[in-house]
């Protein structure tokens, strides 16, 4: 079993067959455990619930995907927890993709001013990104507009579960894993570059989590180095909203656009290599038919924007990110490179 620590707060364990054992860290008294899950992961939540040691274990299946991430669903969850008598000594377990862990984490951060939470991510994106780093939240008009930082005490990543994911869900996660390689692990990038979707999941998961854990460990809240995790996400997020494409696809296109801008601004010489690695993973590099006006409107509303213009993560070289203010002209050039006209 591999174990990665984020400070003293959080441990991430990676292995096979973990969901059929007890996913909770051992401690003396644990009366109630509340398991949150989603339709696509409910069968895994059953296994998790059967394996934990507690006086009583209850389960709630949330609505699927981001329809789970609302204040209304959070309110239903609080009432459910209050009715069962959940105290500060209980534990919430989120079993599912990022929408479940975001909601479960938000509920855990706020119920009784914060109780223990454990995540069992069941998507690759959840394992390498959403479950790591302590960001929780719900959507309110904008995505993740309401949230809190609350680290899970433990994240349990079962590679057997991730191996069985449908190809498209796996590809979504590969986009974030590739991002992790690009910002902080040349060997991970090289592995994905050569193996594409045949990459060794053990290597991908462990190395991608290590990159995020290292960044988050240094920078608990989103300042400084943590911003580098947004690589590909400034333009990517705008394309995601404007074009309604899946998050991983949008991040892939966002990285291509950032690559073009970095060529111009900081002399990045591996933009072609990056593009080829994205293509090899079966992720898109073009967003034809998307309105530039619409993308620019979303960018203008981006909550991460500051007074100096859009801040973007750019690569000086693979593994060497820098965060810079980027002019409208540069953004236009980036958008042109992904066919947004």
Residue 249 CA to residue 236 CA, distance in Å, equals 8
Dihedrals φ, ψ of 88, to 5°?
A: -65, -15
Applying CB under 6 A, does 100 fall inside the site for ligand NAD?
A: yes
Q: Segment near ligand NAD (CB under 6 A), from 121-129, 149-157, 218-226, 254-262?
A: 121-129
- b or e along 326-339 (b: 16 or more beta carbons within 10 Å of the residue's beta carbon)? beeebbebbbebbe
Residue 174 CA to residue 179 CA, distance in Å, equals 8
DSSP bridge partners of 13: 3, 156
Applying CB under 6 A, does 98 fall inside the site for ligand NAD?
A: yes
Applying CB under 6 A, does 133 fall inside the site for ligand NAD?
A: yes
Dihedrals φ, ψ of 147, to 5°?
A: -170, -175
Give the 3-state secondary structure of residue 225. Answer: helix
> Among residues 151, 99, 93, 135, which one has the least CA distance to residue 118?
93
Applying CB under 6 A, among 48, 77, 128, 165 the residue interacting with ligand NAD is: 165
CA 175 from chain center: how many Å?
10
Applying CB under 6 A, does 234 fall inside the site for ligand NAD?
A: no
In this chain, which residue has its C-beta nearest to ligand NAD? 98
Closer Cβ to ligand NAD, 242 or 265, answer by number? 242
Q: Segment near ligand NAD (CB under 6 A), from 3-11, 71-79, 165-173, 194-202?
A: 165-173
Applying CB under 6 A, does 122 fall inside the site for ligand NAD?
A: yes
The site string for ligand NAD over 40-69 (x = CB under 6 A, - otherwise) reads: xx----------------------xxx--x
Applying CB under 6 A, does 161 fall inside the site for ligand NAD?
A: yes
> Among residues 211, 260, 252, 213, which one has the least CA distance to residue 231?
252
Q: Are 87 and 133 in contact (CB under 8 A)?
A: no
Q: Segment near ligand NAD (CB under 6 A), from 119-127, 261-269, 291-299, 325-333?
A: 119-127
Q: Segment near ligand NAD (CB under 6 A), from 111-119, 123-131, 152-160, 278-286?
A: 123-131
Q: Are 50 and 19 in contact (CB under 8 A)?
A: no
* Residues 65-94 contacting ligand NAD, CB under 6 A: 65-66, 69
Applying CB under 6 A, does 126 fall inside the site for ligand NAD?
A: yes
> Among residues 309, 335, 312, 332, which one has the least CA distance to residue 322?
312
Q: What does the CA dihedral 101, 102, 105, 109 come to, rounded to 10 degrees?
A: 180
Applying CB under 6 A, does 125 fall inside the site for ligand NAD?
A: yes
Q: Residue with structure tokens 């959940």?
A: 86
Q: Segment near ligand NAD (CB under 6 A), from 86-94, 124-132, 199-207, 236-244?
A: 124-132
Task: Kindly state the smallest distance separating residue 266's Cβ from ligand NAD, in Å.
Answer: 26
Residues of this chain that interact with ligand NAD (CB under 6 A) are 38-41, 64-66, 69, 96-100, 102, 122-123, 125-126, 129-130, 133, 135, 144, 161, 165-166, 169, 172
């Amino acid at each position: 079993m591999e174990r990665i620590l984020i400070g003293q707060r959080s441990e991430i364990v990676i292995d096979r067959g973990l969901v059929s054992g007890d996913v909770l860290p051992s401690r003396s008294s644990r009366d109630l455990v509340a398991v949150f899950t989603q339709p696509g992961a409910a069968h895994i939540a059953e296994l998790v619930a059967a394996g934990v040691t507690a006086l009583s274990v209850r389960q709630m299946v949330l609505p699927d995907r981001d329809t789970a991430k609302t204040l209304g669903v959070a309110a239903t969850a609080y009432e459910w927890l209050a009715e069962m008598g959940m105290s500060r000594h209980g534990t919430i377990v989120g079993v599912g993709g990022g929408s479940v862990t975001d909601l479960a984490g938000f509920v855990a951060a706020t119920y009784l001013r914060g109780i223990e939470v454990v995540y069992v991510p069941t998507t690759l994106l959840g394992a390498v990104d959403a479950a790591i780093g302590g960001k929780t939240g719900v959507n309110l008009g904008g995505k993740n507009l309401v949230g809190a930082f609350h680290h899970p005490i433990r994240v349990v990543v079962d590679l057997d579960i991730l191996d069985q994911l449908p190809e498209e869900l796996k590809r979504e996660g590969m986009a974030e894993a590739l991002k992790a390689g690009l910002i902080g692990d040349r060997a991970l990038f090289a592995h994905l570059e050569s193996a594409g979707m045949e990459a060794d999941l053990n290597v991908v998961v462990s190395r991608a989590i290590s990159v995020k854990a290292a960044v988050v460990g240094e920078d608990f809240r989103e300042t400084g180095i943590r911003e580098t995790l947004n690589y590909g996400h400034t333009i990517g997020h705008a394309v995601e909203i404007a074009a309604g494409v899946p998050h991983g696809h949008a991040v892939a296109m966002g990285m291509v656009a950032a690559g073009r801008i970095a060529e111009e601004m900081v002399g990045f010489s591996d933009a072609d290599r990056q593009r080829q690695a994205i293509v090899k993973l079966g992720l898109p590099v073009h967003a034809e038919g998307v309105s530039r006006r619409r993308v620019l409107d979303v960018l203008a509303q981006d909550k991460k924007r500051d007074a100096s213009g859009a801040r973007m993560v750019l690569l000086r070289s693979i593994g060497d990110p820098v965060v810079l203010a980027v002019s409208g002209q540069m953004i236009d050039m980036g958008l042109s490179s992904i066919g947004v006209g």
